[in-house]
Amino acid sequence: MRCANEQVVLHVDLSYRKMWHEIVPEMVVRRFLGGRGIGDWLLWRDLKPGVDPLGPDNPLIFSAGALLGTAAPTAGRATILCRSPLTGFYLKTGAGGRFGAALRFAGVDHIAVRGVSEAPVVLWIEPGSTEIRDASELWGAGVRETHRRLQEDCEDSIETACIGPAGEHRVRYANVMLSVYHSASRGGAGAVMGSKGLKAVVARPGRGSIGVMDPEGFHLASDRARANLLEDPMANNLYHYGTAGDVTVFNDIRRLPSKNWQVAHIEDEEAESLGGRSWEEAGYLKRRRGCSACSIHCHRFTEVGDGPYGGTASGGPQLATVTRGGPNCGVGNVEAVFRFNELCNDLGLDAISTGSSIAWLMETYERGLISSEQADGIEPVWGSEEALLGLTGRIAHRQGIGDLLADETLAASQRVGGDSWQWAVQAKGMSPSGVAMQSALGYALAFAVNPRGPDHLHTETIAEFGATPQAREVIQRITGDERYAVSDIVDKRGEIVRWHEDIYAVTDALGLCAFTTTCAYGIDEGLLAKLFATATGVPMSSEEIMTAGRRMMTLERAINLREGLTRADDTLPWRIMNEPNHDLTGVEDPIVSRAKLDRMLDAYYDLHGWDRERGAPAPQTLRELDLEFALDG
Amino acid sequence: MRRSGGSSENRAIRVEVRLYGEAARVVRKERFISELSEGSIVRDAVEDLCGAYPAVAEHLLTENGDVRPAVNLLLNGRPVRSIAGLETRLEDGDRLFVLHAYGGG
Ligand code: SF4
């Protein structure tokens, strides 16, 4: 049995076919905890600034959270880190499933892959052995087939992290699929994996297990967390309806960014069928599923019985997939969206960037900057299911027009020209998650400063809506007044974002699901510290653990500054900042103006102890966070 | 038609009340049109709803007549607690959303 406090890095050089192990020093574990935290530390150390994200020198790091393999609720998240080929900046992307826990059972907590293999390979890890195996026959296969064929090679159950054709073709937003249906979606980690010729990492858990240092204390803390989650209304919603449960609500209140963010709603009936609340009655929902040790079970497995999309079956879809492939492209047929989800999962594509790139093309076509001939004969009109699904396949293989879209909207608009950059709804080169930022200013600020791009899975400030008593209590704790649990005001957004950053980073580092800390609120700072301390034996207070979160955010900032990030990169899509969206009802000022964003940025940098010019941490800030090693960049 | 503020010559306003989850199950309805006099406030629309469907009252209000902490009332998408709570004035064509926890991931 291994103990939760052990942190072993497996280094793999694919160019030279060399492997070696490194034990993470206890001081580093104390400061960076595990998962994303140790991944940040490795990335800072091993990534040289300015390297080609798709070249041999970009380290690709897989990190299992510090509590994976234990019974801590939702301890199933693994993080993948590298320099993003989409943004050129820091990337961490994570997913649940069972891969991360299996990796630890197999004896490895982190993998740092560098180099490039001449022929496709699989990295096979099991207790006591690691091997680089040939994968030439798997190249070109979809995710499900890849997993199935790898499983055929082994009598025991295995877990995989693999890429589909999109990663092989270096689509800049190719994902990595964990345990077949869990997507580490954003920023193109799949393209980095593809560039290294690494088709899959296999973890064969064997009979491995992870022991904790103080079993009684650990189980008390875990039970407390589970009991809190049982009472939390958001956790309840996630179980019953999944993440896509409230599409109808967002539509009714006109907060569903649609048609490439031009409007904020679609037809009521379409929203009704797209929303997860209706899937059970309609017969689509086959199973509710959970990641390792999960007590919430937000994951779905859906199937379409008959009709043109009959036979479609996959894990999900999640809210982001539904809204970016559906309403953002004007598509209201839920069965087409299920197919879109299946394609993204199997081809290995981030559904947000895929749907957003297609929506950009639809608007570009509508405005006459691209013809049907240029789009390979496809007519990319709003609501065209044929366009949505046909383009998704072309993107994954970089076929024809798919090659243009495979680099995302900013790069595509630079090639097409004209004003098409204005409706390339992106920042840092990445399309945002489908949150109406104009009326959710905590999200707006968090998206602008997010080191990986404008996305909700790094800092999710859902509490600012104040939609549950628990959420309002969180805002009360952060700001001293629950009246700040209103999303369309500027005041206190800096404080709200910073607290969410810290706790999200800790949640990632421990390998827990963010739904336990920043959506449902079953695990607070104190419980995080207790879970970590009782599992690892490393003493930890709630203040210390939140400081560890801050340390991660600050080091991520330092990595980005080293890559040339400036304040100008901490921004939002042009459309959000310049085109008032009057479809958003009840919003006095339906843009996030430059002045509004600047006010929030100044307050946020000040809170962090970063200068206002670049958002660079002051030397004093770095010292206070024990980040002296980052002083010289 | 409910009246408010004691004015006798008020014109009618129509407010669409949308119900979700528990509230919708109780009234077996997702939409309710509240016809009120001009100058009415959110409390009038909620009382109108509870008058038509008494069973919903205990889901929405405490014994003191306050909105239960778990209930969200959004007026045209904004939480009424960020405007003037139950005293928030209504306009013709307003949409009032009555829901429990909401969000996504
Ligand atoms: S809540 Fe959902 S995403 Fe989170 S651990 Fe459970 S199943 Fe996985």
- Supply the pLDDT for residue A169: 98
- Supply the pLDDT for residue A36: 98
Q: Is B1 an 8 Å CB contact of chain A?
A: no
- Supply the pLDDT for residue A633: 67
- Supply the pLDDT for residue A43: 98
Cβ(A515) to ligand 1 under 6 A? yes
Residue A247: its chain B contacts at CB < 8 A?
104
pLDDT tens-digit profile of A155-164?
Answer: 999 999 999 9
In the predicted structure, residue B6 carries a pLDDT above the cut 70: no
Instruction: Kindly state the tokens that stand for A504.
Output: 């999200």
Instruction: Kindly state the tokens that stand for A107.
Output: 């004896």
pLDDT tens-digit profile of A404-452?
Answer: 999 999 999 999 999 999 999 999 999 999 999 999 999 999 999 999 9
Ligand 1 centroid vs A294 CA: distance in angstroms? 6
Instruction: Kindly state the tokens that stand for A413.
Output: 């608009």
The full 3-state SS of B75-105, as one line of letters, equals ECCEEHHHCCHHHCECCCCCEEEEECCCCCC
Quick check: B82 and A486 CB within 8 A?
yes
Asked if B105 contacts A246 with a C-beta cutoff of 8 angstroms, the reply is no
For residue B56, give the DSSP letter: H
The full 3-state SS of A465-498, as one line of letters, equals HCCCHHHHHHHHHHHCCHHHCCCCCCCCHHHHHH
Ligand 1 centroid vs A597 CA: distance in angstroms? 32
Q: Is B74 an 8 Å CB contact of chain A?
A: yes
Is residue A60 within a helix (H) or strand (E), and if so which, with residue range?
strand A60-64
Burial of A548 (0-12, 13-18, 19+ CB in 10 A): buried
Asked if B32 contacts B19 with a C-beta cutoff of 8 angstroms, the reply is yes
Helix A469-479 and helix A493-510, axial crossing angle in degrees, nearest 10: 110
The runs of H, that is alpha helices, within A372-492 are 385-397, 401-405, 408-416, 441-449, 469-479
* B68 phi and psi angles, rounded to 5 deg: -60, 145
Cβ(A95) to ligand 1 under 6 A? no
In the predicted structure, residue B4 carries a pLDDT above the cut 80: no
What average pLDDT does chain A have? Answer: 97
pLDDT tens-digit profile of A536-592?
Answer: 999 999 999 999 999 999 999 999 999 999 999 999 999 999 999 999 998 989 999
In the predicted structure, residue B2 carries a pLDDT above the cut 80: no
Q: How far apart are CA A429 and CA A421, in angstroms?
A: 11
Quick check: A234 and B101 CB within 8 A?
yes
pLDDT tens-digit profile of A28-65?
Answer: 999 999 999 999 999 999 999 999 999 999 999 999 99
Which residue in the block uniquely carries the two structure tokens 């904004």? B78
- Supply the pLDDT for residue A41: 98
CATH of domain B12-100: 3.10.20.30
Cβ(A76) to ligand 1 under 6 A? yes
Cis amide prior to A317 (ω within 30 degrees): yes
Q: Where are the domains of chain B?
A: 12-100
Quick check: A254 and B78 CB within 8 A?
no
Mean pLDDT along residues A362-375: 98
Confidence bin at A487 (pLDDT 50/70/90): very high
Quick check: A238 and B82 CB within 8 A?
no
Q: How far apart are CA A619 and CA A278, in angstroms?
A: 53
Ligand 1 centroid vs A6 CA: distance in angstroms? 25
Cβ(A226) to ligand 1 under 6 A? no
User: What residues of chain B, 11 to 50, have a C-beta less than 8 Å from chain A?
Assistant: 18, 20
pLDDT tens-digit profile of A280-298?
Answer: 999 999 999 999 999 999 9
Q: Is B72 an 8 Å CB contact of chain A?
A: yes
Helix A334-347 and helix A351-366, axial crossing angle in degrees, nearest 10: 120
Residue B81: its chain A contacts at CB < 8 A?
466, 483, 486
Beta A18-23 vs A159-162: how paired, if at all? unpaired
Asked if A176 contacts A80 with a C-beta cutoff of 8 angstroms, the reply is yes
Mean pLDDT along residues A159-180: 98
Which residue is closest to A240 within chain B, CA to CA? B21
Instruction: Kindly state the tokens that stand for A533.
Output: 């301390």
Q: Which of helix, strand or coil describes residue B61?
A: strand
Quick check: A469 and B70 CB within 8 A?
yes
Cα dihedral B20, B23, B26, B31 sign: negative
Quick check: A585 and B82 CB within 8 A?
no
DSSP readout, A76-102?
--EEEEEE-TTTSSEEEEEE-SSHHHH
Mean pLDDT along residues B3-7: 46
pLDDT tens-digit profile of A95-132?
Answer: 999 999 999 999 999 999 999 999 999 999 999 999 99
Least confident of A117-121, A165-169, A203-207, A530-534: A203-207
The runs of H, that is alpha helices, within A129-205 are 143-152, 165-168, 189-195
- Supply the pLDDT for residue A209: 87
pLDDT tens-digit profile of A495-527?
Answer: 999 999 999 999 999 999 999 999 999 999 999
Ligand 1 centroid vs A562 CA: distance in angstroms? 34
Cβ(A532) to ligand 1 under 6 A? no
Query: How much of chain A exceeds pLDDT 90, in percent?
Result: 97
- Supply the pLDDT for residue A355: 98
Strands in A159-162's sheet, in edge-to-edge order, are A129-134, A121-126, A198-203, A159-162, A176-178, A182-184
In the predicted structure, residue B1 carries a pLDDT above the cut 80: no
Mean pLDDT along residues B15-29: 89
CA A552, chain centre distance (Å): 16
Q: How far apart are CA A212 and CA A532, in angstroms?
A: 9
Mean pLDDT along residues A252-268: 97
pLDDT tens-digit profile of B43-76?
Answer: 999 999 999 999 899 889 998 888 899 999 999 9
Ligand 1 centroid vs A296 CA: distance in angstroms? 6
Residue B78: its chain A contacts at CB < 8 A?
486, 488, 586-587
In the predicted structure, residue B104 carries a pLDDT above the cut 70: no
In the predicted structure, residue A205 carries a pLDDT above the cut 80: yes
Cβ(A514) to ligand 1 under 6 A? no
Cα dihedral A503, A504, A509, A511 sign: positive
Closest CA to B29 of B43, B49, B13: B49
- Supply the pLDDT for residue B10: 64
Mutate to test the pocket of ligand 1, among A67, A238, A240 (most ligand atoms within 8 A of CB): A238
Q: How far apart are CA A359 and CA A365, in angstroms?
A: 10
* Global model pTM greater than 0.90: yes
Closest CA to A79 of A110, A50, A107, A48: A110
Q: Whose CA is nearest to atom 2 of ligand 1?
A: A298
Residue A58: partners with Cβ closer than 8 Å, 6 or more residues away: A47, A51, A52, A82, A83, A114, A192, A195
Q: ipTM score of the complex? A: 0.88
Count of Cβ atoms closer than 10 Å to residue B59 Cβ: 20
Interface of A with B (CB under 8 A): 233-234, 236-238, 243-250, 252-255, 298, 318-319, 439, 456, 460, 462, 465-469, 472, 483, 486, 488-489, 514-515, 519, 584-587
CA A589, A590, A596 angle in degrees (round to 5)? Answer: 60
In the predicted structure, residue A166 carries a pLDDT above the cut 60: yes
Which residue in the block uniquely carries the two structure tokens 């299946």? A342
Helix A334-347 and helix A143-152, axial crossing angle in degrees, nearest 10: 50
Mean pLDDT along residues A338-357: 98
Quick check: B103 and A439 CB within 8 A?
no
In the predicted structure, residue B5 carries a pLDDT above the cut 50: no
Which residue in the block uniquely carries the two structure tokens 């879209």? A405
CA distance A441 to chain B (A): 13
Q: How far apart are CA A444 and CA A457, in angstroms?
A: 13
Helix A35-46 and helix A542-562, axial crossing angle in degrees, nearest 10: 30
Closest CA to A81 of A34, A121, A125, A128: A34
In the predicted structure, residue A73 carries a pLDDT above the cut 80: yes
Confidence bin at B21 (pLDDT 50/70/90): confident
Q: Is B97 an 8 Å CB contact of chain A?
A: yes
Task: State which ligand 1 atom lies nearest to the alpha carbon of A295.
Answer: 6
Which of B16, B25, B82, B94 to mutate to probe the A interface, most A CBs <10 Å? B82
Q: Whose CA is nearest to atom 8 of ligand 1?
A: A291
Strand ranges, E, within A294-435: 299-303, 313-315
